[in-house]
Every structure is written in structure tokens, then in C-alpha cells.
Structure 1
Amino acid sequence: MNREEQEQQGIALLAPRPELIPLAADRPRVLVFDVNETLTDMTPLAGLLEHVGLPGHLLTAWFAGVLRDGVALSLAGGHATFAAVAGDGLRALAAGEEGATDPEQAAAHVLAGLPELPLHPDVRGGVRALRAAGYRLATLTNGSADTTRAVLDRAGLTDCFERHLDVAGPGRWKPAREAYAYALDAMGVPAGAALLVSVHPWDIDGAARAGLATAWLRRTSRPYPTTARPADLTATALPDLATRLGAT
């Protein structure tokens, strides 16, 4: 069995597995999923960066900068869409790289790739198992709900989710409390009835402070930061999480 087959079956690739904090008997029935890097594989964007004359390895720094600048705007009382902040970052990179495409064209080319991103191999099976078990599913992203919908439509998972939400509604990027409150209101449940699933510890921390249960999807070997509130559950793939939530 190769690595991809293991991922699809939710077999743990990281050892030793950390001890998990069990959820209460009245476990949440609404699961709110982060999107970028949690459900979608963003690595194809490295190829788009290279196509416009930018080094592919800048993908990580660019995405981190988008999150930094979007959250900073929220902290300052402002707001901008993910596309606007991401476009600013791409134009800055292109303007500073000799031989790069015109900054406007470079930004447009890379941003056009967001709705075409693939899902991680484990997502289809995990999402369907959770939905079949009776969990209500929604997405909440700092990006665009329309982009989320396009990705999940292409994967045939539209029927599994009740709502696709983004931070345009609350006007505050995650991890602001208002973003999670917006999702709870949209799903019609109190914080104690929902669980956030994310690959990002800062997202887990924010949701925990807003009163939600949390599940950290550990897709890399990087340790969980000691300064963040710990996740209630840790899983290496969505089928693994489904098992821990009694869905399989």
C-alpha cells in the first residue's frame, strides 16, 4: 500500500499518536470545516506562481502573508476580501521579482486557480462517512464561499453540506469570535453543539475561545503550538476523524 492509499483510508502516518481528549457524551452534531489547506490541496498554486515567473517555493510565504494581512485588517477594524488581500500580495511579489509577468496579470492568473484546486485524497470518503452518520456539515472560510462551492461541486460533494459560509457576512476574518458566531447563527445552533475542523492551530484556538469543540487535522509532522488552546480531538485524515466521532 502506497502513501496515497494510506491517506485515503485514513491510516495514521505520524507516530506516536497523541492522546486525545474525549468529547462529551452529548457530542456536537454540527461540523464546521475550514477550507484552505484543510479540505483543499493548495500545492498546485506553486505551478501557477512559476508560470508567471515567480518561484514556486514562495507559495507558503504568500499564503501566510495573506492570512497575516487579512487578520491585521480585522484587528484594526477594517475588512477586505481574501481575493483583494491575496491580489495585493501577488502584485507585490511580481513587482519585486525580475522577469515576472506584469503584476496585474500575475495576480489574476494565480487567483483564477483557486476554484480549480483539488481536494486532499481523504476528503471525499471522510465527508461522506460523516454525513451518512447524521452529522450536519458546513464550511467556513476566510476565502470565498463561491470558491468553496465550485471546488466541492466539482468533487460531487455538494449534497453533503448545508451551508458554505465566508467571512464577508461578519466582516471579520477568523480567528475573530464574530466569524464563528456567524457560522453558529447560520446553522441555528449554540456553540456547544458545533465542532470546528481545521488544519490550522490558530483556527482551532479561535474556535475554542468562541466556545466550539475542535478537531485538529494534522496533515504534517509539525507539532501543535504550546501557546494555543489544545484541540479536543486530533486526527491525521478525515476518515480517522469520522471513526473517532463514531461515524464508521
Structure 2
Amino acid sequence: MSTEIRPRPGLVVFDVNETLSDMSGLQQTFADLGAPPALAGMWFASLLRDGFALTVTGVNPDFADLAATSLATVLRPLQLDDVDLAVDRVMAAFATLPVHPDVLTGIPALAALEIRLVTLSNGSTAVAEGLLHRNGLTTTFERLLSVQAAPLWKPAGAAYQYALDVCGVAADEAMLVAVHPWDIHGAHHAGLRTAFINRTGATYPSCFARPEVEVTSLLELAEVLGEL
């Protein structure tokens, strides 16, 4: 754990995809289709790349539409029997992902600190709602927010400002929690405080603004914030 912590934030804003949801099972979905398991990670990376490129040009794409288009692009060279069916199966699996184990303990621990909890996803609120509902966590969140209602995707500053405006808090009163360094970087430059959840022990990229807090789990984050 690394931290240069200030007073406890009044609002914690969670990324959803990979931060709360565990996408590792998608590798088996790809394998069941006859595709290399590693293609799951490549697909999601290409989806984000395309979304970020559109964001830079001022376009706010629909996440599900872009995800399906990107998925068809990476699957088509494999000459599967039915690419459209394969896309449907992956998208269905994506919509029913489990949460990481530490989410089940960490979210209630953070809620017990009486911190306001919200999500902010580049995906839809429906996917976030389903994820939390399946795990009995919906009532611990004040709001489930999506950039579909914001000007642009994260990491554009306008996405974070949208969440701040909806929640009625100043940037320095909110903390963005994510596993993605690009999300941490974007939130930092929008004025939010940041917490990086490093479940894999990866080295944080030096090209991005460093997080205020780096921990290995959401439960550890609750312990850190609970000491304030």
C-alpha cells in the first residue's frame, strides 16, 4: 500500500468494468467459441482504444454498440461458423459477469464509513445495476451513473464533472476508484482524488499522474479510509 492521504472523501466514485466486475471468465467464453482465450483482453483493449479515439474527436459513442462492432472485427478473421452468434454470446457473458471477491467485502466496509458511494461507467447503467443486483450490493450505492448521460467518455474531464455535478460535490471532496491507470489520470486532471486498486501487483505507468492511494483490494481501501 502507498498513500499520501488527506481527510476522508465525502464521495467515492467507482469505475465498473474490471474495477468491480471480474472479466477473467470471458477468456473461457472466447475459448468455447473456438477463439484464443487471450483475444478477450485484446478485444476489450481495442474497444477502449476506439472509444478513446472517438472521445478525442468529441463523439460520445454507445458502449454496447461499439463493443459489438469491435468484437465482430476481432472475431471475423477467425472464420467462425456464425460471427453474429459469437458476438451475441460474448455480449451476453459480458452482461452477466461476477464481481471480484474483494468487492463483496470491500463495498459494505466502505458503506459502513458513511461515505457516499456511486458508480461512473463508460458502459450502461443497466449493466452496472445488474452486476450489483446479482451480488446484493445495489442498495449500498446512492447512484449508478453512466457517461451515456455525460458529454464524453472517461477519461475526458467532462465525464468526471458530470458525476460531480449530479452528486453536488466539489472535485476535491470526491475520490475516483479504479483499476485503470488511464482512469486515475483522467480523474486526477479533473481535480478528483484517486485510489488505484492494484490486484495484480502491476507497476503503475510512470506516464500517468500517480494515485493518492494505491491498495490491493477494496477492503484495504476501506481500512485506509477508516483510519482518517
Q: Shorter-chain TM-score category? A: over 0.9
User: 2:41 — aligned with what?
Assistant: 60
Residue 114 of structure 1 deviates from its aligned partner by: 1.9
- Provide the C-alpha distance between the structure 2 equivalents of 1:101 and 1:137, rounded to a whole number of angstroms: 44
User: 1:21 — aligned with what?
Assistant: 4
Of 73, 86, 98, which residue of structure 2 is paired with 1:118?
A: 98
Of 164, 183, 188, which residue of structure 1 is paired with 2:168?
A: 188
TM-score (norm 2): 0.96
Of 56, 62, 65, which residue of structure 2 is paired with 1:84?
A: 65
- Counterpart amino acid of 2:3? L
- Counterpart amino acid of 1:42? M
Within-5 A mapping of 1:23-42: 23=6, 25=7, 27-42=8-23
Residue 94 of structure 1 deviates from its aligned partner by: 2.0
- Counterpart amino acid of 1:222? A
User: 1:13 — aligned with what?
Assistant: none
More helix by share: 2
User: 1:5 — aligned with what?
Assistant: none
User: 1:151 — aligned with what?
Assistant: 131
| Range moving further from structure 2, 49-58 or 61-70 | 49-58
- Provide the C-alpha distance between the structure 2 equivalents of 1:80 and 1:104, rounded to a whole number of angstroms: 20
Secondary structure in 1 matching 2:3? coil
- Provide the C-alpha distance between the structure 1 equivalents of 2:86 and 2:131, rounded to a whole number of angstroms: 22
Of 72, 80, 103, which residue of structure 1 is paired with 2:53?
A: 72
| Range moving further from structure 2, 137-146 or 51-60 | 51-60
Residue 247 of structure 1 deviates from its aligned partner by: 6.5
- Provide the C-alpha distance between the structure 2 equivalents of 1:135 and 1:101, rounded to a whole number of angstroms: 50
User: 2:192 — aligned with what?
Assistant: 212
Residue 221 of structure 1 deviates from its aligned partner by: 2.0
Residue 115 of structure 1 deviates from its aligned partner by: 2.4
Cα distance change, pair 185–92 in 1 and its aligned pair in 2 (3 A): same
User: 1:238 — aligned with what?
Assistant: 218
Task: Indicate whether 1:127 and 2:107 are aligned.
Answer: yes
Secondary structure in 1 matching 2:26? helix
| Count of residues in correspondence between the two structures | 228
User: 2:31 — aligned with what?
Assistant: 50
- Provide the C-alpha distance between the structure 1 equivalents of 2:123 and 2:81, rounded to a whole number of angstroms: 24
Secondary structure in 1 matching 2:117? strand
Residue 53 of structure 1 deviates from its aligned partner by: 2.3
Q: Is the 1:20–1:233 contact (alpha carbons within 8 Å) kept by the matching residues of 2?
A: yes
Give runs of ≥4 in structure 1 deviating > 3 Å. Answer: none
Of 140, 149, 162, which residue of structure 2 is paired with 1:160?
A: 140
- Provide the C-alpha distance between the structure 2 equivalents of 1:68 and 1:101, rounded to a whole number of angstroms: 27
Which 5+ residue runs of structure 1 have no aligned equivalent? 1-16
Secondary structure in 1 matching 2:220? helix
Kindly, what percent of the aligned residue pairs are identical?
44
Q: Is the 1:177–1:207 contact (alpha carbons within 8 Å) kept by the matching residues of 2?
A: yes
